[in-house]
Amino acid sequence: DIQMTQSPSSLSASVGDRVTITCRASQSISSYLNWYQQKAGKGPKVLIYAASSLQSGVPSRFSGSGSGTDFTLTISSLQPEDFGIYYCQESYSIPWRFGQGTKVEIK
Amino acid sequence: EVQLVQSGAEVKKPGESLKISCKGSGYNFTSYWIAWVRQMPGKGLEWMGIIYPGDSDIRYSPSFQGQVTISADKSISTAYLQWSSLKASDTAMYFCAREEYSNGRSAYYFDYWGQGTLVTVSS
């Protein structure tokens, strides 16, 4: 099975900061990588699919890049509503795997 | 509006059976895969398995094969996750999610999620 590793596990940043979260796959997954945001007690919300495609309705401050084994999610200017846990997820081979999550806090 | 509405929280004893549900609306239920995802307390997301309600094709994660049963009733646009004998370690939040396929990017992702069903198993 493919293993997904995110870093950092948590971060604290100020409003307006540029934030980057990385996700590494244990083998090449081409561009089959999705990013989700989850807030406490809610189902996740897709932000980016296929590594770099912005889901409809998601603010343009979110962007994704990467291919193969290394991927990044960038928030260009952190907003107060961006707190939560961010997960990457591969859709290269079943069973789909998620990263362990990155908790984003607002300073 | 696409919605996935899950059944309410459950409190069960070890050894009991349980079936939770996920009702889809606002789209053609038979044309999209529905996945089940587990989130244990304070932990991350785990993909359990997926069903295509159109023909009930099912795929399980090896970690959950034999531990749970996934099914669907397309006549009422509802997917199910069931256990025959619960354990304390089944205590978790369970989400259903619709799998979308992007033709342009040839990629799958979960575009709509249910609100979650909290299952608590305790003696």
Q: pLDDT-based confidence at A98, cuts 50/70/90?
A: very high
Residues 6 or more apart whose Cβ sits within 8 Å of residue B66? none
Name the residue with tokens 């009702």.
Answer: B23
Nearest-Cα distance to chain A for B106, in Å, is 8
For B111, the closest of A38, A46, A99 (CB atoms) is A46
Contact predicate B35/B49, CB 8 Å: yes
Per-residue pLDDT, A32: 97
Give the length of chain B. 123
Nearest residue on chain B to A47, alpha-carbon basis = B111
Per-residue pLDDT, B103: 87
d(CA A52, CA B107): 11
Per-residue pLDDT, A47: 98
Peptide bond before A95: cis, by omega within 30 degrees of 0?
yes
B105 in the Ramachandran plot: left (φ > 0), alpha (ψ -120 to 50) or beta?
Answer: alpha
